[in-house]
């Protein structure tokens, strides 16, 4: 009986730790210090306009999420957003305007960078989930570092492996 209680207590503690380390569960207004204490070190940080800062928590390359925790100039959380969401791409990505720095500040380091014969530049790739289906986001960046276009596609390798 005592062993069972220990296992239940351990499971509860692990579940609580998982909730605390989830950026989406961080209350708005949390201080930078408390955010770092709860979430740990971010994978990247970026300065934001008006003196703010972005703490980026990426689960790439193995995961499907990039969570951006934005702080205002006083160092308090003002927004939290999981960026790798197909519904956000059209509203967020700005071909002809965005540069590499904008892409990194939003999505973090890509899963891979490749070249294709039909485009003079590189293609940065991330994977994400759409209704639990693995998909890819492809962003095409020209030699001057400007985003020219993007599109999404199915990850057929993962679909095939799950059959």
Average pLDDT, stretch 119-128? Answer: 96
Summarised one tens digit per residue, pLDDT across range 56-79 is: 999 988 789 999 999 999 999 999
pLDDT at 18 over 90: no
pLDDT over 60 (residue 121) = yes
Mean pLDDT to the nearest integer, 32-46: 97
Which pLDDT does position 61 carry in this prediction?
80
Residue 2 vs residues 6, 16, 108: alpha-carbon distances, Å: 6, 21, 46
Domains 23-82 and 94-161 share a fold: yes
Has residue 36 got a pLDDT over 70? yes
Please tell us whether the domain made up of 23-82 is placed in CATH 3.90.1580.10. Answer: no
Main-chain phi, psi angles of 68, to 5 degrees: -105, 125
pLDDT of residue 97: 98
Give 158's pLDDT tier (boundaries 50, 70, 90): low
Do 103 and 95 touch, CB atoms closer than 8 A? no
What ranges do the domains of the chain cover? Answer: 23-82, 94-161
With 50 as the cut, is the pLDDT of residue 15 above it? Answer: no
Residue 80 CA to its chain's centroid (Å):
11
Per-residue model confidence (pLDDT) at position 157:
74
Provide CB contacts within 8 A for 112, sequence distance 6+. 61, 124, 125
Residue 66's nearest CA partner among 35, 15, 103, 96 is 103
Measured between alpha carbons, how far is 156 from 42 in angstroms, rounded to an integer?
31
- pLDDT tens, residue by residue, 138-155: 999 999 999 999 999 998
What confidence category does residue 118 fall into, taking pLDDT thresholds of 50, 70 and 90?
Answer: very high
3-state secondary structure of 5: helix
Tell me: pLDDT of 5 over 80.
no
Q: Report the pLDDT value the prediction gives residue 20, as an integer from 0 to 100.
A: 43
Q: What is the per-residue pLDDT for 62?
A: 78
Is the domain defined by 94-161 classed in CATH 3.30.1450.10? yes
């Amino acid at each position: 009986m005592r062993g069972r209680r220990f296992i239940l207590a351990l499971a509860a503690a692990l579940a609580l730790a998982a909730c605390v380390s989830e950026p989406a569960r961080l209350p708005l207004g949390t201080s930078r210090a408390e955010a770092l204490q709860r979430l740990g070190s971010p994978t990247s940080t970026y300065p934001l306009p008006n003196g703010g800062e972005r703490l980026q928590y990426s689960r790439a390359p193995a995961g499907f999420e990039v969570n951006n925790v934005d702080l205002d100039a006083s160092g308090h959380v003002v927004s939290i957003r999981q960026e790798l969401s197909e519904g956000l791409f059209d509203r967020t990505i700005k071909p002809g305007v965005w540069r590499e720095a904008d892409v990194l500040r939003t999505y973090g380091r890509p899963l891979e960078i490749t070249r294709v014969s039909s485009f003079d530049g590189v293609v940065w790739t991330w994977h994400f989930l759409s209704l639990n289906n693995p998909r890819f986001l492809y962003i095409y960046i020209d030699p001057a570092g400007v985003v020219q276009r993007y599109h999404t596609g199915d990850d057929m390798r993962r679909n095939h492996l799950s059959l």
